[in-house]
Chain A
Amino acid sequence: MNEIKIIAGHFLKITFRSRMLVTIYAVWLLLVVFAAFTGYSTYTTQNTLRTQLQQQARQSWEANPDKHPHRMAHFGSFAFRLKHPLSMFDYGMESYTGNAVFLEAHKQNTVNFSEAGFSTGLLRFGEISLSVLVQLLLPLVLFFLGFHTVARQKENGTLKIVLSQGTGLGAVIWGNSLGLFVLSVLFLLPVAVAAFVQMMLQQQLPADGFVITRGLWLLLVCMGYLWVVSTVAICVSASSTGSRAALLKLLGIWLLMAIVLPKTLQAVGSAVYPAPGKFEFETAVEEDMLKIGDSHNPKDAHFARLKDSVLKAHHADSIQQLPFNYGGFQMREGERLSAEVYNQHLKGLYNTYTRQNAISNYAAFINPFIGVKNISMALSGTDFTAYRHFQNHAEAYRYQLAQTMNELQMEHISNTAPAKDAKPLSIGKEHWTAFPDFRYTHQSVQAITQQQLPAVAAIVIWFLFSFAFIYFTAASAKVL
């Protein structure tokens, strides 16, 4: 144990002495400041803007005069997606997902205006967030700082001397891994501080965001990941014939894990589980909708049958004798059926996407980078399920809006059309304010943990595996 401490201390002493570390650390700090600042400014501008727009949309909703409730169902509302505070740390997919959706009766609109849609194409080079720095760039830095440790000692013969003094190769690897890990924590420190400051600068953090719990989990996962990266660097260094070979191997590993595999796996995912495009999707939805019937079409067979049965149930001869507005009833029925069909299709589509992404999720077992990225995006509320959560929420609100308006129509609107120049049928505007505004909530930590179970398991396994890796490298590496 003492040996390990000495070796770790020695590694740190040598590294701290080199001019290269100072340069790298200075650049690192600049990058952290840059990432923290852009993350902070994007979050604050966007959330302020979106909250403001949500209020503005609400104001114009409430400003409507007395009118027919179905007009209000078409007037509709908007849902703006609010960012989770930790999205300042990990941007995740947020640049690619839409941010605003128009919610109206009869129609499920797309969530529009993703940042990617406004991008010049540079977005494809990636983004610099604090998480990218820790998860993508820091491993490369650690590989730079760690590739020569054991390998160079091997090259210049000092390793032989060390070992001949009774220290085991295991202790050498342990010591250097620990040293490199301590170094990585020094790199992680400014990132954690920056994220902490980002959070503290917020006047108010959403209560359901569980920022502290999520943040601590993030920190833990990142540290576990950095330990794995450190041991990989040292083990490769110890098992290579020389430092040049170690460097090339480590760079190859980084390139494969961080750049090539994530892309390739998603391509494989979408090839294995092909998803329909927008128009294939729309055609399929429409086909099923036509089977139900058109609630706006008076001649429609399904709704004609419905009318007959309703009249029969109420012992009425005509809709004028019904105790409620028939138009509202029919549209409520239509909305229910069409929403059912649409949501079923959408669920199918999203399940296909989830299956495509599952390949990446399970790839965490062969690639810890993907695992840590998935967990980090999930905890930061910027992954696919967070987006899906928003969309489900928005759709539930849309449905509630449409049905509330239909019910108001059933209750308050007469079945008899007004005479020609008479005041058109309408209800009081107090009903508009009575209908609550859209409120976005974040997912619970528990739900996230469940979704990310494979990735969490993979990171735990990698963590345990790192000890086995040290053990086997120490046992099999050739010293001479």
Chain B
Amino acid sequence: MYLLAFSNFIRSRSVLIAITLFLVTGVISLYIGSRFLQKQQAAVEAVTQLQQAQIERNVKNVPDQFGLLMYYLRFAYINKPDPLAALAIGQQDINNSIQYLTVRGLEGQRYDTGLFNPYNQLTGNLDLSFVILFLFPLLIIAFNFNVLSQEAEEGTWPLVRIQAGSAMRFIVQKLSIRLIVVLGLLLILLALAVVIVPVPLNSKLLMFSVTSVLYIVFWFAVSFLIIALRYSSAISALLLLSCWVLLCLLGPAMVNSYLTARYPVQEAYSTFLKQRDGYHTKWDADKDKTMEPFFKHYPQFSRYVWNSPKFNYMWYYAMQQAGDDEAAGDSKAMQNKLRQRQQLAEKFACWIAPMQAQLALTDIAGTGLQQQQQFLDSTAAFHESTKLHFYPRIFTDGAVSAENWAQHVPRYFKATAAMVPLFAMMPLLVFTLILGATGVVIFRRKGAAYTFQG
């Protein structure tokens, strides 16, 4: 009986068309994802070559002044995307995943953006996470909105009721068939991702899959509740679609508007101004005024001679440092703002399932704001260690040839462990259970009779 119903469902023309459409869209999304990875890989290779070529050329051109040489040299720090990023590109097409820095002031460099076509960013990426978060709910709605009302509208409901025994059993059977089909579709797409992208079979992919499954089940619970209310097909469709518009479009967009207005990041601009003024005004100031704070920041360098008759780069780099030091307060305030945004977004996300799923998927794939923040923090550490490596050589005007330049290859950022997704997905699970339970209660109360409402 179940198998018969299953094959009956699968064989209907509209279902076949829908499944095919989704398969095609899914495969396109996988290609878009893997193209994104290829572009990132190409960027990594380009910067690796660029760094090597620039070091070689400048070392040749400026063989006698370490300080001047270090004005030119740049060092790459790379946030290499996890293959899973192909499935949830998230913010990674906006954020810079490669930092290419000199040992001069950090604040003037680290917010430099890449080159992007803003129209592409505006429309966003059609990646698998978009298919799952935005389009799958529509498929679920299309499958479910009339499972019951159709029988009533076509007059087959009394017949079905007698045959199925219990109305509840009938509806559970119908929904489970659709759930299996949708989950099957998801599974196929994930399997294709393993082949096409390719995404390795690991715990991250498992977390990604579990989150997606939970999200799909959530939408089935929503559908079940609306079905249980027993409106006509048209009204059910409208209600379900309103849910979709509210949860997938309006809700998150409103939260985003609120966050933007609540935490405006004006510190970004003031950081920008302060680091310039902090550095440049030192050219006209008394040199001691620059060196004093520098030695306070780096007492280990106070034994070096900076006021030798020859032009000394120590003063120059101390001026650069002054730019960073004077902008440090604003820079920190800016990062705090971003952290506050992130935290508040997570709070709101508990109430809006697609938002929660989105944040979870991008966190798993390492393409969210959280990881970008980590990367920026870690960039500061990278810049600091590069600086500290070269400062003594600059300050003593060491021999350029004595440095082992071959060791200065791009470094890679390693993210600290991602969050525990099951815990983070709790609200979604709770919502699903509440919706499902409410659906059951309403369904039971209405009994088997089908009366139209509205």
Interface set of A (CB-CB < 8 Å, partner B): 31, 34, 38, 41-42, 45-46, 49-50, 53, 56-57, 60, 64-65, 67, 71, 74-76, 78, 80, 92-93, 95-100, 102, 109-128, 132, 137, 140, 144, 147-148, 243-244, 247-248, 251, 255, 259-260, 262-267, 269-271, 275-283, 286, 294, 297, 349, 353, 356-357, 360, 384, 387
Contacts and interface: CB of A to CB of B under 8 A. Distances in A.
Contacts of A260: 25, 126, 135
B451 interface: no
B369 A112 contact: no
Contacts of A126: 249, 252-253
10 contacts: A78-B272, A93-B119, A93-B122, A118-B341, A126-B253, A263-B124, A263-B126, A278-B98, A356-B117, A360-B123
Contact of A93 (B49, B96, B121, B261): B121
B147 interface: no
B120 A356 contact: yes
B358 A124 contact: yes
B61 A297 contact: yes
A384 B272 CA distance: 24
A74 B281 CA distance: 11
Contact of B273 (A57, A92, A244, A277): A57
A280 B46 contact: yes
Contacts of B199: none
Interface residues of B, number: 90
Nearest to B94: A116
B250 interface: yes
Interface stretch (B204-212, B213-221, B262-270, B413-421): B262-270
B377 to A, nearest CB: 15
Interface in B25-67: 25, 28, 32, 35, 39, 42-43, 46-47, 49-50, 53-54, 61
A262 B277 CA distance: 43
B359 A120 contact: yes
A414 B340 CA distance: 55
A248 B254 CA distance: 27
A34 B280 contact: no
Interface in B222-260: 233-234, 237-238, 241, 245, 248-250, 252-260
B273 A53 contact: yes
A359 to B, nearest CB: 10
B265 A118 contact: yes
B290 interface: no
B341 A120 contact: yes
B261 A38 contact: yes
A110 B46 contact: no
Most chain B CB within 10 A, of A49, A115, A243, A280, is at A280
B369 A120 contact: yes
A83 to B, nearest CB: 14
A144 B237 CA distance: 10
A99 B265 CA distance: 12
B114 A278 contact: yes
A338 to B, nearest CB: 15
A122 B113 contact: no
B111 interface: yes
A78 B275 CA distance: 13
A353 B258 CA distance: 31
B256 A119 contact: yes
Task: For the complex of A and B, list the 6 residue pairs with the smallest distance between their C-beta atoms, beginning with the closest.
Answer: A125-B252, A279-B46, A122-B256, A353-B117, A120-B345, A93-B118
A39 to B, nearest CB: 9
Given A119-B341, A282-B50, 13 more contacts: A38-B260, A53-B270, A57-B273, A114-B94, A118-B265, A122-B256, A122-B358, A127-B257, A266-B123, A276-B115, A279-B47, A283-B46, A360-B119
A122 B50 contact: no
Given A126-B253, A127-B257, A112 B122 contact: no
B362 interface: yes
B338 interface: yes
Contacts of A360: 119, 123
B112 interface: yes
Contacts of A247: 234, 237-238
A96 B121 contact: yes
B354 A125 contact: yes
A151 to B, nearest CB: 10
A127 B272 contact: no
Given A102-B108, A121-B358, A360-B119, A113 B269 contact: yes
Given A121-B359, A126-B249, A259-B134, A100 B126 contact: no
B276 interface: yes
A129 B264 CA distance: 18
Contacts of A78: 272-273, 276
A354 B285 CA distance: 47
B138 interface: yes
B378 interface: no
Given A78-B273, A277-B42, A121 B91 contact: yes
A244 B234 contact: yes
